Amino acid sequence: MTTIADRLAIAQQRIINAAQLTGRNSSEIRLLAVSKTKPIADIITAYEAGQRQFGENYVQEGVDKITTLSTQYPEIEWHFIGPLQSNKSRLVASHFDWMHTLSREKIAQRLNDYRPSEMAPLNVCIQVNISAEETKSGIDIHDILPLANAIHKMPRLRLRGLMAIGSTSADVALQQHEFSTLNQAFAELKSSYPHLDTLSMGMSGDLDAAIANGSTLVRIGSAIFGERHYSDSI
Ligand SMILES: *Cc1c(COP(=O)(O)O)cnc(C)c1O
């Protein structure tokens, strides 16, 4: 049976291979371990194997894990990657280090208002809808700049880049098309905001296409922690 440590090493090797194929340096690409629905013991196992960045989708589950682990594991960087309702903004602002799924100015304003002054500014990515699937969230690619301009004025937020979820399709040509569209939008946004350094795209099933198109952060869950069973409690 493969262990979490084995699967982390395999994921890291996949990143190295995908980077080499397109002449990129794999040190530009960070691995976010997506631990949603998985028990705290699995996070500690991954931590002991060297992993420091973890992603969570559900506010209360993430906050519970952060509260349990933050004193003993202050080096963990916590990323919120799920959909956020505005009434949960305060919880995200007061616990997480990163928020990847920002697509509304109203939520940005709340996160800015609630970010505690003793914490560093909250790192944020704007989520863009690059998929033809209607269920996917995120803003239209043409609306990125006005939202970026608004976030840029908020002192408790630090805009880091763009995030997207690809279509669930295994069609590699479609994955390539979606990720290259986001990569172009990122390049355009960087002409206004050159400090941006994060293109959050690629998951267990489409990491290669994402890295070929400039991803700097891949979000890997099931390939590290195994399939998710949504009835499991933490
Ligand atoms: C669950 C999730 C992931 C990880 O998905 P896997 O297919 O398990 O790698 C990545 N990004 C987001 C936004 C997710 O919700």
pLDDT (tens place) for every residue of the chain, 234 residues total: 689 999 999 999 999 999 999 999 999 999 999 999 999 999 999 999 999 999 999 999 999 999 999 999 999 999 999 999 999 999 999 999 999 999 999 999 999 999 999 999 999 999 999 986 766 789 999 999 999 999 999 999 999 999 999 988 888 899 999 999 999 999 999 999 999 999 999 999 999 999 999 999 999 999 999 988 766 544
CATH number of the domain residue 62 falls in: 3.20.20.10
Structural domain boundaries, residue 107: 4-223
> 169 C-alpha vs ligand 1 centroid, how far in Å?
14
pTM over 0.85: yes
> 106 C-alpha vs ligand 1 centroid, how far in Å?
25
Tell me if 230 is assigned to some domain. Answer: no
Please answer whether residues 58 and 52 qualify as being in contact, where contact means their C-beta atoms are separated by less than 8 angstroms: no
Tell me if 138 is assigned to some domain. Answer: yes
Domain count, the chain: 1
- The span from the CA of 29 to the CA of 176, in Å, is 17
Tell me if 69 is assigned to some domain. Answer: yes
Task: Locate the DSSP E strands across the chain.
Answer: 30-34, 53-56, 77-80, 98-102, 122-127, 157-163, 198-200, 217-220
Tell me if 232 is assigned to some domain. Answer: no
Tell me if 228 is assigned to some domain. Answer: no
Number of residues assigned to the chain = 234
Tell me if 148 is assigned to some domain. Answer: yes
Our mutation pick for probing the ligand 1 site, out of 36, 81, 206, counting the most ligand atoms within 8 A of Cβ, is 81
Atom of ligand 1 nearest to the CA of 225: 8
- The span from the CA of 29 to the CA of 213, in Å, is 12
Tell me if 178 is assigned to some domain. Answer: yes
Ligand 1 contacts (CB < 6 A) are: 34, 36, 57, 81, 165, 203-205, 219-223
Cα 102 → chain centroid: 11
Question: Tokens for 161?
Answer: 């880049």
Question: Tokens for 112?
Answer: 């800015």
Tell me if 231 is assigned to some domain. Answer: no
